[in-house]
Amino acid sequence: MEVAYSKDFKKRFAKLPAKVQQQFAERLSLYLDNPQHALLHVHSLNGSWEGYQSFNVNADLRVIFTIRDNGGTLYLDMIGTHSQLY
């Protein structure tokens, strides 16, 4: 599966500490190997994020994403803390 990133995602990601960026890399790899892994807590979103899904990077950091191109692309739309995103 190809991975693509929104401009907003890239901007926010660049501001994260190196340790958190490493946590993200580990969780992204985990998602690509097994999208339903229990550590990720993947779930569909509602409200203004309806049609999107989310997975956990750590206790507070979330990634909001969509699957595009008939499942061929994981598009990472946004990254942030729970309070920043919801």
CATH value at residue 57:
3.30.2310.20
Count: domains in the chain: 1
Local confidence band at 86 (pLDDT 50, 70, 90 cut-offs)? confident
30 occurs within a structural domain: yes
Global pTM reads: 0.94
Q: What is the pLDDT of residues 9-45, one digit of tens each?
A: 999 999 999 999 999 999 999 999 999 999 999 999 9
What percent of the chain has pLDDT above 70?
A: 100
Query: Do the domain assignments include residue 12?
Result: yes
Q: 59-74 as b/e, with b when 16 or more CB fall inside 10 Å? A: eebbbbbeeeeeeeeb
In a domain, 86, yes or no: no
18 within a domain of the structure (yes/no): yes
Q: Is residue 39 part of a domain?
A: yes
Residue 38 lies in a domain: yes
Expressed as residue numbers, the domain containing 63 is 2-81
Sheet containing strand 43-44, edge to edge, reads: 2-5, 73-81, 61-68, 53-56, 43-44
Does a structural domain hold residue 40? yes
